[in-house]
Amino acid sequence: MVYQPAAGARDLLPLDVAKKRWIEDRLQQVFHRWGYHRIITSTLERMDTLMAGEAIQRQMVIQLQNAEDDELGLRPELTASIARTVVTRMAGVTYPQRLYYNANVFRRTWQSKHNSQQEFYQAGVELLGTGGLLANAEVLLLVADCLAALGLKGWHLILGEAGITRSLLSAFPVNLQDTVRSAIAHLDRITIDTLPLSDNLRERARIMLDLRGKSTDVLQKVSSLDLDNEQQEAVNNLKSLVELLESEKNFPLILDLSLIQTIDYYTGIVFEVVSDTESQAQVLGRGGRYDQLLGLYHPQGENIPGIGFVLNIEDLYQLLLSTQQLPQTTPASNWLVVPETPNADASAFAYAQKLRDSTHLVRVEMDLGGRDADAIREYARDRSIAQIAWIKPDGSPTIEPLR
């Protein structure tokens, strides 16, 4: 029906936009202060680009076809698009590259209700071309700075390490590794207890289920797993990161080495930003290190290390609604300019432009005729306009404050 939006689509009215922009503007200010630059990639991507990192299932992509019968899709996330852009369009740049985005993404949630939302808004960063402790710490501290800029309290960061977790899984028989991984990801003790495992491996799996909580306790438990040199080095690197983060006062950190993302391109730390102010914990964003993803897009297969995160604007929006921080009304105009007579129209437009040329943002409306003076004043008061400028044919104004 012509008067209804498409299934899964929705419209944002001016007040909705004002609230959304309030969030995005504060995040953008933080990104700028940390030296990040905005990148805008194509909404449309080739399906092989979107699928290369196995970041999302094919059936979740809203697919299209062009005249050449190429398989195209609306981007379901931004990391793949940015990876493609960097290796193909930014060859020869100096690293590290600090990039941020603020964009819409599209996902088909085929198992959900009819008309469920398919368009989402995200903001996030990608730090490319460098690895190590300081890069990891920068991204996690940047997350904290973003949430502080929004005035959010009652959140914590769940930190895992995909490389360590994947390495610990290698001790299990190959034919059981996926099952053990799934059981750990879903905290499924029953499956662990019923799998055909030796006593040592079953105990190892049980310990991996419990690698969550206070950082000192988790690091102590994982060190009891008879690690090889490479595994121990990864644990030591994680310990250094945790110590650096916890040197920052009140950094709300939970270490969780059972955190296994469904996305396989993560190679190092992985994390989720979780709000615990509601009765049920809500994931506000997530991210991690991916040191082999860009090689999938590079013409010569060259790997470029990267780490990033995404924040979900809708989830932040819903959380902030209860705090009364978001705008409660659309921004009011500062001026209503009214030509007193028809031959004052040109002078009124000139006066309005003079006001708009201020170095500060000044919202100026023109009265478009058809109302008497009382109706004009009533309109201005209804719209919370600060003052009216009544303009004579010679351009001279009579200023009437309304507040």
- The 10s digit of each residue's pLDDT in 306-357 is 999 999 999 999 999 888 899 999 999 999 999 999 999 999 999 999 999 9
| Confidence band for 299, pLDDT divided at 50, 70 and 90 | confident
> Which single residue is written with the structure tokens 């309005």?
352
Q: Both 38 and 160 in a single domain?
A: no
So what's the pLDDT on residue 60? 85
Does the structure show a pLDDT above 80 at 98?
A: yes
So what's the pLDDT on residue 111? 58
| Confidence band for 223, pLDDT divided at 50, 70 and 90 | confident
Does the structure show a pLDDT above 70 at 262?
A: no
Q: Which domain CATH number covers 360? A: 3.40.50.800
Q: Both 268 and 284 in a single domain?
A: no
Instruction: Give the DSSP letter of residue 300.
Output: T
Does the structure show a pLDDT above 80 at 386?
A: yes
- Nearest Cα neighbor of 150 from 57, 21, 14, 294 is 21
Q: Both 316 and 367 in a single domain?
A: no
Q: Both 271 and 281 in a single domain?
A: no
So what's the pLDDT on residue 153? 87
Does the structure show a pLDDT above 90 at 1?
A: no
Q: Which domain CATH number covers 51? A: 3.30.930.10
Q: Both 21 and 142 in a single domain?
A: yes
> Which single residue is written with the structure tokens 């969780």?
256
| Confidence band for 278, pLDDT divided at 50, 70 and 90 | low
Q: Which tens digit of pLDDT belongs to each residue from 130-156?
A: 999 999 999 999 999 999 999 998 899
Show which of 232, 252, 275 is a domain's final residue: 275
Percentages helix, strand, coil for the chain, rounded to the nearest 5? Answer: 40, 20, 40
Number of domains making up the chain: 3
Q: Between these two residues, 35 and 166, which has the higher pLDDT value?
A: 35
So what's the pLDDT on residue 52? 83
**Rounded-to-integer distance, Cα 174 and Cα 386, Å:** 72
Q: Both 53 and 142 in a single domain?
A: yes
Q: Which tens digit of pLDDT belongs to each residue from 2-30?
A: 777 777 788 999 999 999 999 999 999 99
What percent of the chain has pLDDT above 90? 61
Q: Both 139 and 160 in a single domain?
A: no
So what's the pLDDT on residue 108? 83
Q: Both 269 and 281 in a single domain?
A: no
Q: Which domain holds residue 387?
A: 335-401
Q: Both 241 and 177 in a single domain?
A: yes
**Rounded-to-integer distance, Cα 252 and Cα 15, Å:** 33
So what's the pLDDT on residue 339? 97
Does the structure show a pLDDT above 80 at 212?
A: yes
So what's the pLDDT on residue 263? 52
Q: Both 281 and 191 in a single domain?
A: no
- Joined together, the tokens standing for residue 330 give 């659309």
Show which of 240, 260, 275 is a domain's final residue: 275
pTM for this structure?
Answer: 0.89
